[in-house]
Chains A and B, each alone.
Chain A
Amino acid sequence: MIVPAPAHPGVAPRLGLAGITKAYPTVVANDGIDLEVLPGEIHAVLGENGAGKSTLMKIVYGLVKPDAGVIHWNGVPVALTNPARARKLGIGMVFQHFSLFESLTVAQNIALALDPAEARNGLSARIEEVSARYGLPLTPDRPVHSMSVGERQRVEIVRCLLQHPRLLIMDEPTSVLAPQAIETLFATLRQLAGDGCSILYVSHKLDEIRTLCHRATVLREGRVTGTCDPRQESSSSLARMMIGSDLPHPRHRAPHVTGAALLRVQGLSLPSRDPFGTSLHDINLDVHGGEIVGIAGIAGNGQRELLAVLSGERRVAVAATIRLCGMAVGHLDAGARRERGLAFIPEERLGRGAVPDMSLAENALLTAWRRGLVRRGFVDRAAAGRYAASVIDEYHVRAAGPEVDAGSLSGGNLQKFIVGRELRQHPNVLIAAQPTWGVDVGASASIRQTLLDLRDSGVAVLVLSEELDELFEIADRIAVIAQGRLSAAYPASATSAEAMGLLMSRALIAPDATTIPHSSAAGASGA
């Protein structure tokens, strides 16, 4: 299974980084980083969120200019001033958030990335040839907006491959894939490496790196903390290099469900408003007090639409479709649902969960103004400041005080602030979307622990996450959303990542299945 690292004594490394440094106003993202990638090597760049992996990759791809340091390409120093130059050298990058044009077709997307001459000569045939060779099936004249996230990733990879890259950067490529699809991707990457292409594989998932990569460079707080052969390491030794200690595991007591469902969704179907969005089909869901229900799924399968309906950002005509503590609330807006005990932590922290250009005190006001922060229509600024200060204090938010702008906080600290702001309102039901996305390990652990404590206090908690590991860590029951349909929720202890993965990759989910289906449900129409 494991391909030995190709040894090329005396051969110059394909890529050599020496002393790469990049500072931003708040943080030094890269601090004197050295790194070498050999021809045909799959080289992992490992580090937790905020360790500086993405910045480093953007530097290699010419998107970000380093403040200091030298980049060698096949032994020759080069200036990577923009992506065009990087691509000319043979560096390709598959982004975590893809760089595709939704309104254009696969072929147009690929043609745009190629030289004009190359783009003209039988492009469709070459797309099909490359996708066949590497097991990445594609239809050239399909518009990208109609494709799933996994398919889009294939477009990105094929687009890179058509440029004959000598170095391929993959930024967290598995975050958009079901477990089974990950194996297929790995096979493709191994085949590529076998053909002599170097691969820089960016991830924070230890198991993946141990399975796939020949070498790993570990980053922590912008510095290299070690280089190793991940195949010789254990997950915990890698974790220690990555965060300096063992991975924290939250205390997880058995749930004590309090009976009635505090959040209940019945027969929710809703066409998408966004032409490129996902419609919801007959969604049923119960979340009881004292339990955490997780919804797993690959991005773009209706999570955004479901959350908008649950939070009240989008309302439905039939009020009884959504019940909050027994009350029909489908017709109510987000504010009215909050008054009835709902709290919501959105995935986008800046611009949705918080206003970046406003102070923390004002951001407290955003959702918590009902808690005595407003008198006769006028803002009680002192009370808003006190509210923000107590959130900062109780949830250990690293911030100078209530008057600093939300935009100046790090992702983890802002998330802790938002979580605290919502929880201080004592909700009966909490919905959290990707609560630890982009958050460092310490903050992630504290946020997960907060959610578990909340559950134990009798609150109904619904967590949507693209990270299965996270759901298995905190959720009592897990359901899967795929193409706008929600599966039944299965007890976390009685199911497995593989079973959930099957549900994710399955186009159709029998909504009333009580056991995990083994064959695809017939009858209903998909696509």
Chain B
Amino acid sequence: MRLVLEPRQEPSRSAGLLSPLLAVAATLLLGFVLFSALDKDPWQALQVFFVQPVATEYGVGELLLKAGPLMLCAIGLAIGYRANVWNIGAEGQLTIGGIAAGGLALVFTDSPAPWLLPAMIVAGALGGMAWAAIPAWLRTRFNANEILTSLMLVYVATYLLSFLVHGPWRDPEGFNFPQSKMFAENALLPNIFPGTRLNAGFLVALAAVATGWLFMARSLAGFQMRVAGLAPAAADYAGISTRRTVWLSMLAGGLCAGIAGMNEAAGPLGQLQPTLSPGYGFAAIIVAFVGRLHAVGILLASLLMSLLYLGGEAAQVTLALPAAVTGLFQGTLLFFLLAADVFIHYRVRMIRSTSGFTVPEA
């Protein structure tokens, strides 16, 4: 008896919907085992991790606050991933977006111009797009692999931000801390949910997800990008330009990540610091996959990933577990998802070893 994978005639849509749920269940199971192994009461640990953080109104606000940049980055990445363009540098594009928006805010710390906040959003978007344009250009002009170049540029962006807040942009009255001045009030995203830290950036994120869905599911350009991802030769055949696909993919990712960076700087931080995000740009890769590269899925997956962040923080306080457990769960979730995805294209069949044959050795 052995198990074999047998290709399905058509990809199973129900397996496609079930596999993220299966992955979440498997991750929870693994968490259960892990907590037991660490001599924590697993039920209590799971409760601390997944329930306690959202038990209060403030907690729900935090959940949405963190989900915002995740869904923003993920929807932008998903557009590229659908087209087989692998931008994994959202973290860097987020950072540059934050720098661009923050730089603008710092120039106008004393002038209460009403256009400052919208201008910061535009600056953040342009910053992210500019950073994403580098791998796009290197790919279309020099055929350089965008996976590696976009990732390398994350390090460059991080060092650039570090340089700025340690050097030219450091707050002279900041007791030598590596951080900029606080932004003026009119450069901060307004709160939309009193009693929490949730700000208007979340609405921007929701709008981006909706636009992303409209683009991918309904527009001709989105359709053509899906063709490029599913069958590159068919894209060439139909006259769909590879160059345009790469540029659109990278710019969409950069745009969204740049706005996410602006949201962080002008939202919870209110200034520039050496680290703008706890790895939202990388976690968004997982969000995009767990969300099936689909807008609704990304919306849900970003809430789940946000919960993992909050759970990690809670576990640190309540259970004295390292916060790194968040990264562990995130990675595991993606593993389980990829494993569960096999059921979309294959069914597992058990076959009995064929008896009655003699096997001569030649």
Closest chain B CB from A333 CB (angstroms): 5
Contact check: which of A77, A354, A408 meets B357 at CB < 8 Å?
A77
A-B contact pairs, 15 of them (CB 8 A): A25-B7, A70-B356, A77-B356, A78-B357, A89-B360, A313-B236, A313-B237, A333-B241, A334-B238, A348-B233, A352-B237, A355-B227, A355-B231, A357-B230, A377-B219
Stretch touching chain A among B8-16, B36-44, B248-256, B299-307? B8-16
Contact check: which of A79, A334, A335, A352 meets B359 at CB < 8 Å?
A79
Question: For the complex, what is the distance from the CA of A127 to the CA of B11, rounded to whole Å?
Answer: 47
| In the assembled complex, A311 has its CB within 8 A of some CB on chain B | yes
Stretch touching chain B among A8-16, A321-329, A362-370, A499-507? A362-370
Contact check: which of A25, A312, A352 meets B234 at CB < 8 Å?
A352
| In the assembled complex, B137 has its CB within 8 A of some CB on chain A | no
User: B9 near A353 (CB under 8 angstroms)?
Assistant: no
Residues of B within 8 A of A377 (CB): 219-221
Residues of B within 8 A of A379 (CB): 218-220, 223
User: A365 near B223 (CB under 8 angstroms)?
Assistant: yes
| In the assembled complex, B55 has its CB within 8 A of some CB on chain A | no
User: B230 near A366 (CB under 8 angstroms)?
Assistant: no
Residues of A within 8 A of B357 (CB): 70, 77-79
Question: For the complex, what is the distance from the CA of A353 to the CA of B236, rounded to whole Å?
Answer: 10
Q: Which of A347-397 contact B (CB under 8 A)?
A: 348, 351-358, 362, 365-367, 369, 374, 377-379
User: A311 near B9 (CB under 8 angstroms)?
Assistant: no
Question: For the complex, what is the distance from the CA of A374 to the CA of B223, rounded to whole Å?
Answer: 11
Residues of A within 8 A of B356 (CB): 70, 77
Question: For the complex, what is the distance from the CA of A88 to the CA of B358, rounded to whole Å?
Answer: 15
User: B239 near A357 (CB under 8 angstroms)?
Assistant: no
| In the assembled complex, B362 has its CB within 8 A of some CB on chain A | yes
User: A355 near B9 (CB under 8 angstroms)?
Assistant: no
| In the assembled complex, B240 has its CB within 8 A of some CB on chain A | yes
> Residue on A with the closest CB to B237?
A352
Question: For the complex, what is the distance from the CA of A57 to the CA of B14, rounded to whole Å?
Answer: 36
User: A351 near B359 (CB under 8 angstroms)?
Assistant: no
Residues of A within 8 A of B218 (CB): 378-379
| In the assembled complex, A336 has its CB within 8 A of some CB on chain B | yes
Query: Using an 8 Å CB-CB cutoff, how does the interface string of B239-266 with A read, 1 for contact, 0 for none?
Result: 1110000000000000000000000000
User: A366 near B238 (CB under 8 angstroms)?
Assistant: yes
Question: For the complex, what is the distance from the CA of A355 to the CA of B237, rounded to whole Å?
Answer: 11
| In the assembled complex, A420 has its CB within 8 A of some CB on chain B | no
Closest chain A CB from B33 CB (angstroms): 36
User: A355 near B239 (CB under 8 angstroms)?
Assistant: no
Contact check: which of A353, A405, A407 meets B237 at CB < 8 Å?
A353
Question: For the complex, what is the distance from the CA of A77 to the CA of B220, rounded to whole Å?
Answer: 58
| In the assembled complex, A344 has its CB within 8 A of some CB on chain B | yes
User: A367 near B354 (CB under 8 angstroms)?
Assistant: no
Residues of A within 8 A of B219 (CB): 377-379
| In the assembled complex, A338 has its CB within 8 A of some CB on chain B | yes
Interface residues of A (CB under 8 A from B): 25-26, 65, 70, 73, 76-79, 85, 88-90, 311-313, 333-338, 344, 346, 348, 351-358, 362, 365-367, 369, 374, 377-379, 404-405, 407-408
User: A25 near B8 (CB under 8 angstroms)?
Assistant: yes
User: B9 near A408 (CB under 8 angstroms)?
Assistant: yes
Question: B9, B230, B239, B240 — which one has the most chain A CB atoms within 10 A of its CB?
Answer: B239
Question: For the complex, what is the distance from the CA of A241 to the CA of B238, rounded to whole Å?
Answer: 41
Residues of B within 8 A of A88 (CB): 361-362
Closest chain A CB from B68 CB (angstroms): 27
Residues of B within 8 A of A354 (CB): 234
User: A76 near B230 (CB under 8 angstroms)?
Assistant: no
Q: Which of B167-216 contact A (CB under 8 A)?
A: none
Question: For the complex, what is the distance from the CA of A336 to the CA of B153, rounded to whole Å?
Answer: 36
| Given the contacts A374-B220, A378-B219, A311 and B237 also touching, CB distance less than 8 Å | yes
Query: Using an 8 Å CB-CB cutoff, how does the interface string of B344-361 with A read, 1 for contact, 0 for none?
Result: 000000000010111111
Contact check: which of B10, B233, B239, B241 meets A338 at CB < 8 Å?
B239
Closest chain A CB from B53 CB (angstroms): 39
User: A366 near B234 (CB under 8 angstroms)?
Assistant: yes
Residues of A within 8 A of B231 (CB): 351-352, 355-357
Contact check: which of B6, B8, B223, B239 meets A336 at CB < 8 Å?
B239
Contact check: which of B8, B227, B359 meets A358 at CB < 8 Å?
B227
Question: For the complex, what is the distance from the CA of A359 to the CA of B218, rounded to whole Å?
Answer: 15
Residues of B within 8 A of A408 (CB): 9-10
Closest chain B CB from A164 CB (angstroms): 11
Question: For the complex, what is the distance from the CA of A358 to the CA of B217, rounded to whole Å?
Answer: 13
Question: For the complex, what is the distance from the CA of A88 to the CA of B359, rounded to whole Å?
Answer: 12
User: B237 near A334 (CB under 8 angstroms)?
Assistant: yes
Residues of A within 8 A of B10 (CB): 404-405, 407-408
| Given the contacts A25-B8, A25-B9, A78-B360, A334 and B230 also touching, CB distance less than 8 Å | no
Question: For the complex, what is the distance from the CA of A334 to the CA of B227, rounded to whole Å?
Answer: 15
Question: For the complex, what is the distance from the CA of A404 to the CA of B237, rounded to whole Å?
Answer: 21
Q: Which of B309-362 contact A (CB under 8 A)?
A: 354, 356-362
Residues of A within 8 A of B11 (CB): 357, 405
Question: For the complex, what is the distance from the CA of A457 to the CA of B7, rounded to whole Å?
Answer: 43
Contact check: which of A79, A90, A356, A405 meets B354 at CB < 8 Å?
A79
Closest chain B CB from A30 CB (angstroms): 16
Closest chain B CB from A430 CB (angstroms): 14
Contact check: which of A65, A77, A89 meets B358 at CB < 8 Å?
A77
Q: Report the 5 A-B pairs with minimum CB-CB distance, sorted nearest first.
A: A335-B239, A334-B239, A79-B357, A88-B362, A25-B9
Residues of B within 8 A of A338 (CB): 239
> Residue on A with the closest CB to B6?
A25
Question: B9, B220, B356 — which one has the most chain A CB atoms within 10 A of its CB?
Answer: B220
Question: For the complex, what is the distance from the CA of A407 to the CA of B240, rounded to whole Å?
Answer: 21
User: A355 near B230 (CB under 8 angstroms)?
Assistant: yes
User: B237 near A346 (CB under 8 angstroms)?
Assistant: yes
Question: For the complex, what is the distance from the CA of A405 to the CA of B221, rounded to whole Å?
Answer: 21
Closest chain B CB from A319 CB (angstroms): 16
